[in-house]
């Protein structure tokens, strides 16, 4: 079981409530700070996710924890899917995403929906492909969220997850430690409205099960053909699994 890390330790509210509050607060600044913290590499990693999805030629795609919609917009541009859904628990993030979708003239193809990853408002076996980009570590109940994804996927449907991980080889392990422990929280304190948010994002990344540990969780909830692919020596990892 993944260790549960909350943004605001002094508050009694649930992780789900705290994560919603945090992302609502930082929604306007999220894209810019995310590019800064990842040195722009997150865009390349998302493109790799899109390529994996596009190869399966899905007709219906759902991006969970869609945030401001970067990934679902890219999938609309690179696939022929007739229906694309961006789902997020944060209304603040979705509002930013809706503006971006409209600016790309994709509002006729992309639905931006307020929803809970652990209680998806879709029927069993109804979605061809699901993606999650830097979102599963924010699930309150990881296994429940992954089980919900499996429920709504069609048989042979594909799940692709992009999530943070920790490099294990020198010198990337040491460099990652310095960057995540010192640089990321400092950037958050200097530029973010929520001084706690980027400390939480670093902490949740460092404690999240990655690599084979996460593969085993995917297998436990019933996924098959589970694979993972390191990005930039393990700073992030892409996981692919089939229902």
DSSP per-residue codes, 20-83: HHHHHHHTTTHHHHHHHHHTTHHHHHHHHHHHHHHTT--SEEEEET-TTSHHHHHHHHH---SE
Ligand-binding annotation for 88, yes or no, is yes
Q: Which two tokens stand for residue 161?
A: 């997850």
Strand 236-242 to 153-164 pairing: antiparallel
Burial of 75 (0-12, 13-18, 19+ CB in 10 A): buried
Q: How far apart are CA 117 and CA 141, in angstroms?
A: 10
Is 91 annotated to bind ligand?
A: no
Residue 8 has phi, psi (to 5 degrees) of -115, 90
133 annotated to a ligand binding site: yes
- 131 φ/ψ angles, rounded to the nearest 5 degrees: -125, 155
Walk across the sheet containing 153-164 and list its strands.
110-114, 83-88, 60-64, 127-133, 153-164, 236-242, 224-231
* Residue set of the binding site for S-adenosyl-L-methionine: 68, 88, 116-117, 133
Binding-site sequence positions:
68, 88, 116-117, 133
């Amino acid at each position: 079981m993944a260790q549960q890390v909350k943004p605001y330790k002094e508050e009694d509210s649930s992780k789900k409530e705290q994560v919603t509050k945090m992302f609502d607060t930082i929604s306007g600044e999220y894209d810019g700070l995310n590019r800064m913290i990842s040195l722009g590499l997150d865009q390349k990693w998302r493109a790799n996710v899109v390529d994996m999805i596009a190869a399966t030629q899905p007709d219906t795609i759902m991006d969970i924890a869609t945030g401001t919609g970067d990934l679902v917009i890219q999938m609309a541009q690179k696939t022929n899917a007739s229906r694309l859904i961006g789902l997020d628990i944060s209304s603040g993030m979705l509002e930013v995403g809706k503006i971006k979708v409209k600016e790309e003239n994709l509002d006729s193809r992309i639905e931006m929906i307020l929803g809970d990853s652990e209680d998806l408002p879709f029927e069993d076996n109804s979605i061809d492909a699901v993606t999650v980009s830097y979102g599963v570590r924010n699930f309150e109940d990881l296994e429940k969220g992954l089980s919900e994804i499996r429920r709504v996927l069609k048989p042979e449907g594909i799940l692709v997850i992009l999530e943070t991980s920790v490099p294990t080889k020198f010198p990337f392990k040491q460099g990652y430690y310095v960057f995540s422990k010192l640089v990321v929280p400092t950037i958050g304190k200097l530029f973010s409205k929520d001084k706690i948010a980027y400390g939480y994002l670093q902490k949740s990344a460092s404690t999240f099960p990655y690599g084979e540990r996460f593969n085993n969780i995917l297998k436990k909830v019933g996924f098959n053909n589970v694979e993972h692919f390191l990005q930039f020596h393990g700073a992030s990892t892409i996981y692919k699994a089939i229902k």
